[in-house]
Amino acid sequence: MKEKITKLTAECKAEINAASTENELYSVKVKYLGKSGLISDLMKGMRDLSPEERPFVGKIVNEARGKLEELFSARGAALHEAELEAKLAAEKIDITINKNTTVGKLHPLNAVRKRLVDFFVSMGFDVMDGPEVETDYYNFEALNVPKDHPARDMQDTFFINDGILLRSQTSASQIRYMEKVKPPLKMISPGRVFRNDDDATHSPVFHQLEGLVVDKGITMCDLKGILDLFAKHFFGEDTKVRFRPSYFPFTEPSVEVDVSCSICHGAGCKICKGTGWIEILGAGIVNRKVLRGCGIDPDEYTGFAFGFGIDRIANIIHSIPHIKLLYENDVRFLKQF
């Protein structure tokens, strides 16, 4: 029995040393020390020994077992270390190699939005973000569009239920802002808006940027001044701005604002549909009712508001013929910017 143990121990030691991976070592361990391994088999054989022999042999087997366990864990640790080192060496990444990397960039819509926001921020405008799911009150009623008012037809709105809707205009943010901030105030609110419209120049989801200035003595001239700067900055120094009378319930008087076509410089082309002018936004002097509704005295303060489509501005700047191109995320299209 004793020789048997010595022989098995020696064989096991040789196999431990021969194992070259952790997996191999594990197989050796199972072979000798496993439940039905060779050493365990020896223990079973003890049944046949005499009661005097048993403690003696048991001791030798246990000692041998303990020794082997130690060898297994030492060899295991060494193999683990070696394997890790080999793996690290094989997977080494040379971070100084910089071949054929493609660098991502902003989507043209986001890039234009960022430029627009930067422009107004540089003039001291505060930026406000309003909710896309809005109440009827902020989107319509507080903007002087009561229920059943025909002006609701100007915007084909997605209603969620009676009092809740997807905002059809960022003008809703004006009200939220004026409820919190009292004049003098200057704010813009860029964001997504929703309307049931779908053609080459309209998408059910698009982006607007609302602007609002309220202070003592604000007039149409201040609006014209800001929009002149805006037009020159985005469409070129020689761009002209023209106001046409219009109607919005929340401004009085209201105007539609056109810029001279930066492609043909007024001669008439496809982009301006032969007119020499491109319509870019709606604006006006904030309706007295709207100011009063927000707790601002319209005899003391006046203001102007304007709102335009960011998508439209991006399309004009980049001569993009169809609004959907901005939403399809076709990389062949996006790569051009």
Applying CB under 6 A, among 32, 248, 277, 301 the residue interacting with ligand PHE is 248
Please tell me whether residue 306 binds ligand PHE under the rule CB under 6 A: yes
Evaluate the CA torsion angle 5, 11, 14, 18 in order and state its sign.
Answer: negative
Q: Per-residue contact track with ligand PHE, 250 to 269, x per CB under 6 A?
A: -x------------------
Nearest-5° angle of CA 61, CA 65, CA 67? 120
Shortest CB 254 distance to ligand PHE, Å: 6
> What's the rounded Cα separation, in Å, for the pair 1 and 41?
12
Position 72 contacts ligand PHE (CB under 6 A): no
Candidate list 191, 284, 293, 303; residue touching ligand PHE; CB under 6 A = 284
Q: Which of residues 163-222 bind ligand PHE (CB under 6 A)?
A: 169, 171, 210
DSSP E strand stretches across 56-180: 126-127, 133-135, 164-166
Say if residues 122 and 327 touch (Cβ distance below 8 Å): no
Cβ proximity to ligand PHE, 169 vs 262, nearer residue: 169
Find the shortest distance in angstroms from Cβ 154 to ligand PHE.
7
> Quick one: 9 or 169, whose CB is closer to ligand PHE?
169
CB 230 within 8 A of CB 123: no
3-state DSSP assignment of residue 180: helix
Q: Please, which of residues 73-92 interact with ligand PHE by CB under 6 A?
A: none
The residue sitting closest to ligand PHE, measured at its beta carbon, is 307
Angle between the N-to-C axes of helices 310-318 and 108-122, in degrees from 0 to 180, rounded to the nearest 10: 110
Would you say 283 and 227 are in contact if contact means Cβ atoms under 8 Å apart? yes
- Judged by CB under 6 A, which of 128, 209, 226, 305 binds ligand PHE? 305
- Report the distance separating Cα 186 and Cα 302, nearest Å: 12
Binding of ligand PHE by 249 (CB under 6 A): no
Residues in contact with ligand PHE by CB under 6 A are 169, 171, 210, 248, 251, 282-284, 305-307
